[in-house]
Amino acid sequence: MTTRDIDVTLPRETHNDRTMLGMPTVPGRGNLREVAPFQEASAHESQNVQLRTNLRNATHSIQDKRDQRVAEMPDWEQLRDAGEAIKSDVIARLPELLEQFEAAFTARGGHVHWARDADEANDIIAGLVEDNARVNEQGRRDVIKVKSMATQETGLNEALADRGIDALETDLAELIVQLGNDLPSHILVPAIHRNREEIRRIFLRGMDDVDPDLDSQPAHLAEASRKHLRRRFLSADVAVSGANFGIADTGTLSVVESEGNGRMCVTLPKTLITLMGIEKLLPSFGDLEVFMQLLPRSSTGERMNPYSSFWTGVADSDGPENVHVVLLDNGRTRALADEHGREALHCIRCSACMNVCPVYQRSGGHAYGSVYPGPIGAILTPLLTGVDEAENGTLPYASSLCGACFDACPVKIDIPTMLTRLRAQDDEVNHGEKIPRTQLDAALKGAKWMMSDGRRMNLIGKALPIAHITTPSEGMTDLPGIGGKWTGTRDIPQPPKSSFRSWWKDNRDE
The reply to whether 423 sits near other proteins by the rule CB under 8 A is yes
The reply to whether 486 sits near other proteins by the rule CB under 8 A is yes
The reply to whether 455 sits near other proteins by the rule CB under 8 A is yes
The reply to whether 477 sits near other proteins by the rule CB under 8 A is yes
Closer residue to other proteins in complex, CB, 11/496: 496
- Which of 1, 195, 427, 465 touches other proteins (CB under 8 A)? 427
Please report, for residues 163, 382, 497, the alpha-carbon distance to residue 377 in angstroms, rounded to integers and kept in the order given: 30, 8, 45
- Which of 20, 46, 111, 391 touches other proteins (CB under 8 A)? 46
The reply to whether 227 sits near other proteins by the rule CB under 8 A is no
On whether the CB atoms of residues 322 and 133 are closer than 8 A, the answer is no
Closer residue to other proteins in complex, CB, 138/507: 507
Closer residue to other proteins in complex, CB, 222/482: 482
Stretch that binds other proteins, among 41-49, 172-180, 277-285, 288-296 (CB under 8 A): 41-49
The reply to whether 508 sits near other proteins by the rule CB under 8 A is yes
The reply to whether 426 sits near other proteins by the rule CB under 8 A is yes
On whether the CB atoms of residues 148 and 242 are closer than 8 A, the answer is yes
Contacts by residues 78-83 (CB-CB < 8 Å, ≥ 24 positions apart) = 79/290, 79/293, 79/294, 79/410, 80/294, 80/409, 80/410, 80/411, 80/412, 81/412, 82/290, 83/290, 83/291, 83/294, 83/346, 83/348, 83/410, 83/411, 83/412
**What gap in Å lies between CA 75 and CA 390, rounded to an integer?**
43
The reply to whether 454 sits near other proteins by the rule CB under 8 A is yes
Q: Determine whether 481 is exposed, middle or buried from the number of CB atoms within 10 Å of its CB (0-12, 13-18, 19+).
A: exposed
Closer residue to other proteins in complex, CB, 265/419: 419
Q: Which amino acid is at 263?
A: R
- Which of 4, 452, 480, 506 touches other proteins (CB under 8 A)? 452
The reply to whether 493 sits near other proteins by the rule CB under 8 A is yes
The reply to whether 208 sits near other proteins by the rule CB under 8 A is no
Counting Cα atoms < 13 Å in the Cβ hemisphere of 329 gives 29
- Which of 442, 447, 466, 469 touches other proteins (CB under 8 A)? 447
Binding to other proteins (CB under 8 A): which residues in 173-192?
Answer: none
Closer residue to other proteins in complex, CB, 257/426: 426
- Which of 92, 234, 450, 469 touches other proteins (CB under 8 A)? 450
The reply to whether 440 sits near other proteins by the rule CB under 8 A is yes
Measured from the Cβ of residue 407, the count of other Cβ atoms closer than 10 Å reads 12
Give the sign of the dihedral formed by CA 71, CA 72, CA 76, CA 78. positive
Q: Which amino acid is at 480?
A: P
- Which of 398, 409, 413, 415 touches other proteins (CB under 8 A)? 398
The reply to whether 71 sits near other proteins by the rule CB under 8 A is no
The reply to whether 420 sits near other proteins by the rule CB under 8 A is yes
The reply to whether 503 sits near other proteins by the rule CB under 8 A is yes
The reply to whether 196 sits near other proteins by the rule CB under 8 A is no
- φ/ψ of residue 28, rounded to 5: -65, 150
Residue 215's SS3 state is coil
The residues near 242 (Cβ < 8 Å, ≥ 6 apart) are 146, 147, 148, 149, 150, 151, 255, 274, 275, 276
Q: How far apart are CB 361 and other proteins at their closest, in Å?
A: 9
Closer residue to other proteins in complex, CB, 12/455: 455
**What gap in Å lies between CA 490 and CA 470, rounded to an integer?**
19
The site that binds other proteins (CB under 8 A) totals a number of residues, namely 73
Measured from the Cβ of residue 324, the count of other Cβ atoms closer than 10 Å reads 21
Q: How far apart are CB 56 and other proteins at their closest, in Å?
A: 9
Please report, for residues 116, 372, 380, 486, the alpha-carbon distance to residue 28 in angstroms, rounded to integers and kept in the order given: 9, 13, 10, 36
Q: How far apart are CB 407 and other proteins at their closest, in Å?
A: 6
Closer residue to other proteins in complex, CB, 25/500: 500
Binding to other proteins (CB under 8 A): which residues in 307-366?
Answer: 358-359, 362-363
Measured from the Cβ of residue 217, the count of other Cβ atoms closer than 10 Å reads 11
Cα dihedral 364, 370, 372, 373, rounded to 10, equals -20
- Which of 24, 38, 99, 117 touches other proteins (CB under 8 A)? 38
Angle (CA) 152-142-234 rounded to 5° is 110
On whether the CB atoms of residues 297 and 73 are closer than 8 A, the answer is yes
- Which of 222, 445, 469, 470 touches other proteins (CB under 8 A)? 445
Site string for other proteins, 7-36 (x = CB under 8 A): --------x-x-------------------
